[in-house]
Amino acid sequence: MSEPERQLVRPTVHAVVLHGDRLLVRRSSDSPEGTGYAFIGGPCAPGETFETRLRQAIDEETTTRLVQSEYLFVVEHFSTEADQPTHAVEHYLWASVDRVAVSSRTPGQDYEWLPLATLAESDLAPHPVRDLIAAGRHRDPRHLVVRDGELA
């Protein structure tokens, strides 16, 4: 049996920015109201630390700055796209920022503070991470496995 084709998994890092009873998220300006929410962050370049990537994403995309961060957990996503198995690795960090009034520096992106009380009903992806934060359990796990959108 031959060795499978080598596939590189590029890690991503995302911020869990909480202020009181609200979570800071982004969404595409052309998404219908109340839909398409995502965590701030993105893929890490080789040699880039998680904190460096988050700092850069927050500085470039918003009018706020990262003050502090702390590692929370990792999520492994397994799914199938176009009949091919995929494996994504996302790291989540708690983050604090220097202001509550946040606007976008990036055309086509909006930033909103979602209330934790209604977070579980929001269209924030990935849903297993959203549900963990809504339940106040974001400091509990260290490793989550998600298969086809559901906790394994």
- Provide the CATH number for the domain around residue 18: 3.90.79.10
Q: Write down the pLDDT at residue 1.
A: 39
Counted domains in the chain: 1
Amino acid at 49: T
Tokens 């202001």 identify what position? Answer: 99
- Enumerate residue ranges in the chain where pLDDT < 70: 1-8
Tokens of residue 16, six digits: 């869990």
Report how far residue 18's alpha carbon sits from residue 94's, in angstroms, rounded to the nearest whole number. Answer: 8
From residue 87, give the alpha-carbon distance in Å to each of 25, 31, 39, 58, 111: 24, 26, 19, 26, 28
Tell me what pLDDT residue 5 has: 58
In a domain, 2, yes or no: no
pLDDT score, position 151: 87
Closest CA to 128 of 74, 80, 82: 74
Find the domain containing 24 and state its range: 12-151
Q: Is residue 5 part of a domain?
A: no
pLDDT of 7 reads 62
Residue 1 lies in a domain: no
Residue 38 domain-assigned (yes or no): yes
Structural domain includes residue 3: no
